[in-house]
Amino acid sequence: MTRRHVTRFRVEFGDCDPAQIVFFPNFFRWMDAASLQFFVACGMPPWRELAQSDGIIGTPIVDVSAKFLRPATYGDAIDIETSIIEWRDTSFVMRHIICRAAEILVEGQEVRIFARRRPDDPMRIQAVRLPDHLRKLIE
């Protein structure tokens, strides 16, 4: 049974563009926040603690796609339902369904890795397998 987590956002005036609708990169900003809220809801410690304990500095995106079905505008409350739909060797696939009440607005999919800094070059990152004690929190 896949774990799901719903995060609510309020669309603000400043999130919208001159066409009066959400400027689309903001949907990715919200998906990113929903992704983190998913891990928080699972009991995962904040990245700054994981950086100390396990060297994991976050879950950078390697691939993302989204379908924009309906626009949203300021004043709208939107809900993002987030789940992990696939585990790969050193990456995983997250799905985000963004709704306003019963209407689906956006369907998004992210491939993310758990990343640490490369020992030989701290400005570069590399994918690591999620340690078992953290993986257990999610499943």
Closest CA to 24 of 54, 89, 68: 68
Residues 29-48 touching its own copies, rule: CB under 8 A, are 29, 32-33, 36, 40, 46-48
The single residue among 74, 87, 93, 131 that binds its own copies, judged by CB under 8 A, is: 74
Nearer to its own copies, 36 or 99 (CB): 36
Residue with tokens 């990245």: 47
Query: Mind giving me the DSSP string for 55-96?
Result: ---B--EEEEEEEE-S---TT-EEEEEEEEEEE-SSEEEEEE
The single residue among 41, 66, 93, 127 that binds its own copies, judged by CB under 8 A, is: 66
| 115 belongs to the binding site for its own copies (CB under 8 A) | yes
Q: 83, 2 in Cβ contact below 8 A?
A: yes
Encoding tokens for residue 55?
Answer: 């060297």
The single residue among 6, 125, 137, 138 that binds its own copies, judged by CB under 8 A, is: 125
Q: Is 17 known to be catalytic? A: yes
Question: 86 - beta bridge partners?
Answer: 93
Binding-site ranges for its own copies (CB under 8 A): 10, 12-14, 16-21, 23-26, 28-29, 32-33, 36, 40, 46-48, 57-58, 60-68, 71, 73-75, 115, 123-125
Catalytic residue ranges: 17
